[in-house]
Amino acid sequence: MDFTGIITALFKLVVLLAIGFIIYRKHFIDEHFNRGLSWLVVNITNPALILGSLASAGDIPQETVMKLVVFGIGYYLMLPFLAVLIVRSCRIPRQDRGTAELLAVFSNTGFMAIPIMQTLYGDMSVFVINILNLPFNFLVYTYGIYLIQKDIRAKKALEGGENQKQKVKLDWKLFFTPGIIASIIALILYFFHIQMPQPLTVTLRFVGDVTPPLTMLLLGAVLAESPIADAFKDVRLDLAMILKLFLMPLLAFLADRLLFEDPVIIGIAVLTFAMPCGTMGVMLSKNFNGNTRMAAGGIFFSTMVSLLTIPLVYFILMRVL
């Protein structure tokens, strides 16, 4: 059993994370730079990577792609229920349950999954990952915001304040990000067998190829924004994050075996959902006055632990498949 691929992927990941972490802590970059780099990745390089990877998706049967769409929607609908089970079993305090559920549901299925999957399965994995993640934006900007406000209302109730729902105006543009639009365009081009001109495909790949290293540097810099000690203070949250890193891929594996026979597709789907908590947890908490320190601590802890759990999940997959 060859583990060269997963070891290489994680080594590159750790090096880039460390570089991003160090240059932030040494004040070579700041939060303003992080926001700018995040905008570049989300709006330019990642959509280019999605469309550029389309050329590598030609060998995937259309029936499989349709199943991936169904699986992605169904899986994200099941995640909130599993998150509640994890949070309740770890006895997270009521006023913190929303943030814990947010961390459990929304994983780093983009920034961290793409470079690992590209190393293990090639460029076609980028196409698969983005099809699986089509429901992500819709849920994170609706259910994710609801979870943050759930904690805010719970804290007000404990403090004896008014337990009123805080109204949030949702911008529908959030559901049509460049990444979502690029994924939909990729699906249309795929199903209608439309090939982009070769110069355009090459250019998109050239721009998109900078996405994995940039995202790893960005993730390291984002993790450096919060004190490391916060990641180890909340034992209950840390336990919940460990359960997440095992139960989420287990659920994905059980569902995958019902829909797919291709071990590569199963491997991509399972490992995608074996990723740690996504940085959207911190971003939403900042924007909606949630528990940012708790979110940052959970993301840091789960990211560090995932460097051990991802190889373990991969090892089990190789044995089973």
Nearest to 73 by CA among 129, 136, 140: 136
Nearest to 168 by CA among 288, 284, 80: 288
Instruction: Return the exposure string of 23-52: e unless at least 16 CB atoms fall within 10 Å of the residue's CB, then b.
Output: bbeeeebeeeebeebbeebbeebbbbbbbb
pLDDT above 70 (res 275): yes
Task: Work out the pLDDT band at 76, boundaries 50, 70, 90.
Answer: very high
- pLDDT tens digits, 82-140: 999 999 999 999 889 999 999 999 999 877 888 888 888 888 898 899 889 888 878 88
- pLDDT tens digits, 17-54: 899 999 999 999 998 898 888 889 888 998 998 898 88
pLDDT above 80 (res 306): yes
Q: Is 153 helix (H, G, I), strand (E, B) or coil?
A: helix
Nearest to 201 by CA among 215, 186, 184, 211: 186
Task: Work out the pLDDT band at 254, boundaries 50, 70, 90.
Answer: very high
DSSP letter assigned to residue 260: -
Contacts of 165 (CB under 8 A, 6+ apart): 149, 153
What is the structure's pLDDT at 44? 92
- pLDDT tens digits, 226-253: 788 878 889 999 999 999 999 999 999 9
Q: Are 119 and 8 in contact (CB under 8 A)?
A: yes
Torsion angles phi and psi, residue 144, rounded to 5: -60, -45
Nearest to 46 by CA among 171, 193, 218: 218
Q: Which CATH architecture has domain 4-320?
A: Up-down Bundle (1.20)
- pLDDT tens digits, 209-231: 898 888 888 888 888 887 888 78
Torsion (CA) 303, 309, 315, 318 in degrees, nearest 10 = -70
- Which of 287 and 316 is assigned the larger pLDDT? 316
Nearest to 164 by CA among 175, 173, 172, 154: 154
What mean pLDDT, rounded, does the chain reach? 87
Q: Is 107 helix (H, G, I), strand (E, B) or coil?
A: strand
What is the structure's pLDDT at 2? 60
The reported pTM is: 0.85
Nearest to 273 by CA among 136, 109, 139, 126: 109
